[in-house]
Chains A and B, each alone.
Chain A
Amino acid sequence: MTKDVYNFAYLDEDTKRMIRRAILKAVAIPGYQVPFASREMPMPYGWGTGGVQVTAACLVPEDRLKVIDQGADDTTNAVSIRRFFQRTSGVATTERTTEATVIQTRHRIPEEPLSEEQILVFQVPIPEPLRFLEPRETETRRMHELEDYGLMHVKLYEDIARHGTIATSYAYPVKVEGRYVMDPSPIPKFDNPKLSGNPALLLFGAGREQRIYAVPPYSDVVSLDFEDHPFVASKTDHACAICGATGSYLDEVITDDLGGRVFVCSDTDYCRGRTEQEIGAVEAAE
């Protein structure tokens, strides 16, 4: 198939306009979940249908797209979405964080700091941070409206009561610009500090739940916590087995059935960049 068969970036222009309007509204009200008429996409729900629609609405032919899944460029979800946009829009793709203009991500923020020229698109399964505490949509909307967020701390209280510490390690709730409490999608809480004051535009798309929300550049994003149990951006206390990085988020990889395991960077591009730099330094020294 060629790109002539599809409209640029798969969606028709009216749909893209509708999504762009939702995005503009989301940027105008940081952290607020804007409803939009999510379309059926040629992939199952849970595979990033929301993120794909937001990416499609943002892409222009000059863009350079990067897609990651849990930080990796070479996993199924990342490969299939990247090929999807290669075929339907023909935009250039890359695996380098610094070269990309649009990055679609599932559950990670790249280690490399982002710039003002970049857009980061998150795939969101459940956009409502209060959902597991309050099942009624009418009620959660009202709670957002009235800034009635005491319940969010009840969840954190339960964590401490049960585990002695705030055990929520991903999808850690944040407050954006002192107003809306937001689910940052299931990124590890290690990534939460990167949400605040980020120069890039952060967009969140939930396809099944039909919501788009945003954190505009340089927004103030605070992770909720207690005075005597402050927020900690935790990670595994190891170094990467490949590049030796100690400050990056690590994946645990099981190597055999005898309990052998190693920890490697979850951000594959970051890890490869560090390894190449090291090789370069060694070669230069020789």
Chain B
Amino acid sequence: MTAGAARQREDVSAATQRRMVHPLLSVRGLEKRYGTRIGCSGIGFDLWPGEVLGIVGESGSGKSTLLACLAGHLRPDGGQVIFDTRDGPRDVLGLTEAERRRLMRTDWAFVHQNPRDGLRMGVSAGGNVGERLMAVGARHYGSIRGQALDWLARVEIAPDRIDDRPGAFSGGMQQRLQIARNLVTGPRLVFMDEPTGGLDVSVQARLLDLLRGLVRQMGLSAVIVTHDLAVVRLLADRLMVMQGGRVVEQGLTDQVLDDPQHGYTQLLVSSVLQV
């Protein structure tokens, strides 16, 4: 082996090591209060590259508040959210609005529960997918359209629907379009708020299949908020169970679901309807 190749190999392993030492997202003591009520409190976790974290809990347990705080939609009252940006780890809460917006459309993605919140309903499917590209400076119509077509194919939307508005799509298609729109700039971290909520079971299954494929294929990290335990069983590597704004249990998904320790988790797991 030549010296150059050896050095190259060292560089590569150093880069991998660096990536392995730094969690992608590191949350410490996150707290959000609504007056005297607790939104969420004392939240801390590390999300590693390529890892999918599920957050479950009953409604009102603070999971959506937590997600909104992480994604910068809400301003938390305390704590740190450190993201491993391309220029090194930064506290997201200290970013300027311009930096935060840039992050939101390059390295981050947010999939809303209701696709109408995440899509521009007055703009064609192609325009919806292309918006993030244009926002980061793409100015070549042909290549924007090419990428839009590519992404529509990846989320299984027929290419001849590219000029249709999302209003002409079914609920499942709208959700897939929203996913395409979010993933087109190659984000590293995706926030999902009940991505399968409001869809019927067969469409849910297809969407989950698609999501799982995309997450694995692109090596994405994701934070998924849901109340559906089947969704986290399928997608998440790790699970956080929330109750009353606090994390009551966390661990590997299968471990938490198969051997729940906390009383609330036991209740949650035993409440799943069996067909």
A44: Cβ under 8 A from any B Cβ = no
B136: Cβ under 8 A from any A Cβ = yes
- Are the CB atoms of A161 and B163 closer together than 8 Å? yes
Bound form: Cα–Cα A227–B131 in Å:
16
Minimum CB distance partner of A225 in chain B: B139
Which interface class (under 10, 10 to 19, 20 to 34, 35 or more) fits A? 10 to 19
Bound form: Cα–Cα A157–B133 in Å:
12
Bound form: Cα–Cα A213–B123 in Å:
29
B126: Cβ under 8 A from any A Cβ = yes
Bound form: Cα–Cα A151–B162 in Å:
18
Which of B130, B162, B163 gathers the greatest number of chain A CB atoms within 10 Å? B130
B22: Cβ under 8 A from any A Cβ = no
* Binary flags per residue of B35-60, CB closer than 8 Å to A gives 1, else 0: 00000000000000000000000000
- Are the CB atoms of B134 and A228 closer together than 8 Å? no
- Are the CB atoms of B101 and A151 closer together than 8 Å? no
- Are the CB atoms of A154 and B130 closer together than 8 Å? yes
- Are the CB atoms of A150 and B127 closer together than 8 Å? no
Which of A133, A146, A147, A161 gathers the greatest number of chain B CB atoms within 10 Å? A161
B87: Cβ under 8 A from any A Cβ = no
Chain A contacts for B122, CB-based, 8 A: 133
- Are the CB atoms of B134 and A150 closer together than 8 Å? yes
Given the known interface contacts A146-B98, A162-B163, the answer about A154 and B120 at a Cβ–Cβ threshold of 8 Å is yes
- Are the CB atoms of A161 and B145 closer together than 8 Å? yes
Given the known interface contacts A151-B131, A228-B141, the answer about A158 and B101 at a Cβ–Cβ threshold of 8 Å is no
Rounded to whole Å, the gap between the CB of A166 and the closest CB of chain B is: 9
Bound form: Cα–Cα A160–B142 in Å:
10
Bound form: Cα–Cα A150–B134 in Å:
5
* Binary flags per residue of A244-283, CB closer than 8 Å to B gives 1, else 0: 0000000000000000000000000000000000000000
- Are the CB atoms of B130 and A157 closer together than 8 Å? yes
A226: Cβ under 8 A from any B Cβ = yes
Bound form: Cα–Cα A150–B139 in Å:
10
Chain A contacts for B163, CB-based, 8 A: 161-162
Chain B contacts for A142, CB-based, 8 A: 97
Chain B contacts for A226, CB-based, 8 A: 139-141
Chain A contacts for B162, CB-based, 8 A: 161
Bound form: Cα–Cα A158–B131 in Å:
11
B113: Cβ under 8 A from any A Cβ = no
Chain B contacts for A83, CB-based, 8 A: none
Minimum CB distance partner of A149 in chain B: B135
- Are the CB atoms of A148 and B135 closer together than 8 Å? yes
B144: Cβ under 8 A from any A Cβ = yes
Bound form: Cα–Cα A6–B7 in Å:
85
Minimum CB distance partner of A152 in chain B: B134
- Are the CB atoms of B139 and A153 closer together than 8 Å? yes
Bound form: Cα–Cα A229–B141 in Å:
7
B124: Cβ under 8 A from any A Cβ = yes
* Binary flags per residue of A59-83, CB closer than 8 Å to B gives 1, else 0: 0000000000000000000000000
Given the known interface contacts A148-B101, A227-B140, A228-B140, the answer about A161 and B124 at a Cβ–Cβ threshold of 8 Å is yes
Minimum CB distance partner of B141 in chain A: A226
* Binary flags per residue of B118-158, CB closer than 8 Å to A gives 1, else 0: 00101110110011101110011110110000000000000
Question: 8 Å CB contacts to B: which residues of A123-156?
Answer: 133, 142, 146-148, 150-151, 153-154
- B residues sitting closer than 8 Å to A (CB atoms) are 97-98, 101, 120, 122-124, 126-127, 130-132, 134-136, 139-142, 144-145, 162-163
With A150-B132, A150-B135, A160-B141 given, can you name 4 additional A-B contacts, CB distance below 8 Å?
A: A146-B101, A148-B101, A148-B135, A162-B124
Closest 8 CB pairs of A and B: A150-B135, A153-B134, A226-B141, A150-B134, A227-B140, A146-B98, A154-B127, A228-B142
- 23 residue pairs from A and B, CB less than 8 Å apart: A146-B97, A146-B101, A147-B98, A148-B101, A148-B135, A150-B134, A150-B135, A151-B131, A151-B134, A153-B134, A154-B123, A154-B130, A157-B126, A157-B134, A157-B141, A161-B126, A161-B127, A161-B145, A162-B124, A226-B139, A226-B140, A226-B141, A227-B141
